[in-house]
Amino acid sequence: MSEHNPCLNCGACCGFFRVSFFWGECQSSGGLVPDDLVVQINPTRVAMIGTDSKPCRCISLEGEIGKGVSCGIYEQRSTPCREFEAAWVDGQPNPSCDAARAAYGLPPLEANEPIWPDDEGAAVA
């Protein structure tokens, strides 16, 4: 395991972005995401409850943003959550990560911070 995963102390993305995805990712369609945690937003897409309007906070986010968080359905999370990476994972910036962090008064992550993206229970993939 990592000595430092900034996602476990952040969670800003889970409280800033709408998490919408194809309804086929829901359990009733053979996917992973529990049906009772989503809301229909159009005929083919759903969103995690709590992220479908501003201010938002994903229903599955546990803990306090900026202090200590985890995802209550980490192993069942949707594709957008699996694909979202903290800034500087694999040496790449992520302006969306920076924007979410800024919305909560958190500084952007630095390129030289040791980051491990696969900690179990992390808020993001």
Query: Domain for residue 119, yes or no?
Result: no
Query: Domain for residue 35, yes or no?
Result: yes
Q: According to the model, what pLDDT value does residue 89 have?
A: 86
DSSP 8-state secondary structure symbol assigned to residue 22:
E
Q: How many domains does the chain have?
A: 1
Which residue range forms the structural domain that includes residue 96?
Answer: 6-103
Tens digits of pLDDT across the chain (125 residues): 345 688 899 999 999 999 999 999 999 999 999 999 999 999 999 999 999 999 999 999 999 999 999 999 999 999 999 999 999 988 899 999 999 999 999 999 998 766 555 544 444 43
Nearest to 69 by CA among 60, 78, 79, 56: 60
- State how far the Cα of 102 lies from the Cα of 56, in Å rounded to an integer: 15
Q: According to the model, what pLDDT value does residue 5 have?
A: 81
Query: Domain for residue 84, yes or no?
Result: yes
Query: Domain for residue 41, yes or no?
Result: yes
The model carries a pTM of 0.85
Q: According to the model, what pLDDT value does residue 22 have?
A: 98
